[in-house]
Amino acid sequence: MTLTKIGDGLTRPERETIIRTSDGDNGWEIYTASPTMARRLAKLCKSMGIELQPEGHWGVRAYLPKGAVKLTKRSAISDAERERRTARLAAARAARKAASVGSAADA
Kindly report, residue by residue over 51-84, the tens digit of the pLDDT.
999 988 889 999 999 988 888 988 889 999 999 9
If we measure between CA atoms, which residue out of 11, 15, 13 comes closest to residue 56? 15
Tell me what pLDDT residue 104 has: 58
Does 33 share its domain with 20?
A: yes
DSSP letter, residue 67:
G
Does 39 share its domain with 17?
A: yes
Tell me what pLDDT residue 99 has: 87
> What is the Cα–Cα distance from 35 to 24, expressed in whole angstroms?
30
Residues 6+ apart with CB under 8 A from 45: 51, 52, 62, 64
Burial class (CB in 10 A: 0-12, 13-18, 19+), 6: buried
Tell me what pLDDT residue 10 has: 86
* Range of the structural domain that residue 102 is part of: 73-107
Tell me what pLDDT residue 92 has: 95
- Cα dihedral across residues 89, 92, 98, 100: positive or negative: negative
**Once rounded to an integer, what is the mean pLDDT over residues 32-38?**
93
Does 48 share its domain with 86?
A: no
**In the predicted structure, residue 1 carries a pLDDT above the cut 60:** no
